[in-house]
Structure 1
């Protein structure tokens, strides 16, 4: 008589225990499935990395263009400050001219008097013109000269 060792169907029989170890082909198949799963994960990560690098390249191009613009602005700051100084010197000359009394025997105005002079509305600094002062050997640059300098008078900060 043969008895079942378990009442549950599909339960592990001791007689089939020796035959349940996977065959070499099944072991190879399981190994190849693990390799494929790992390869699929590597491919997914590589695709994610490629998208990340593409978006980084786009952002880098934007930053590159922006840094060129900033470089151009910084390159011109010296000229902007120089021109602003010339314009302010022109306005200071106009204030000094308005503060100077028409009577030569009157005392000279102090700096505080000159600073307190209010210019008429709409007063603009003298026009600034470009006059070549020296030619650069490699680029032929032209220097900026205020109209007061062009006429021969000196302004503060124009050495």
Structure 2
């Protein structure tokens, strides 16, 4: 599989989760094992740009996909992604445990919205302004036990405003 732009060859059992493959076999500890049931979002990574819960995915299912973790989210490894910068600016983190999943999810969420993908808040495609309710609904799969939601919301709005045409 290709992880953060690097082709990786793994010799693992077919039942190994993508999360365990990333953490235990590749040493990528950004994605966290929170609930291990797909309920918290701490393990969120991108598979071909689409956010997934790595704890629910078998690594074998993603052999032909591009997997991006928080370690590879920035285009240049010597730099940080604008979303990472916004999270710091707006105090969108406290303990940091959920932060990598939150950032990966937020990056993909903005791409989904830009592509006109509907949500429960905006059931029709395209042309909708990204409201606070829209962001909250689209990010509802990522939990923060510290309650940094206001900072997370502000960070996402900041990046959305920068990306707006």
TM-score band w.r.t. shorter chain:
under 0.3
TM-score, with structure 2 as normaliser: 0.18
Q: Give the structure with the larger helix fraction.
A: 1
TM-score, with structure 1 as normaliser: 0.19
Q: Give the structure with the larger strand fraction.
A: 2
Instruction: Find the structure with the greater CA-based Rg.
Output: 1
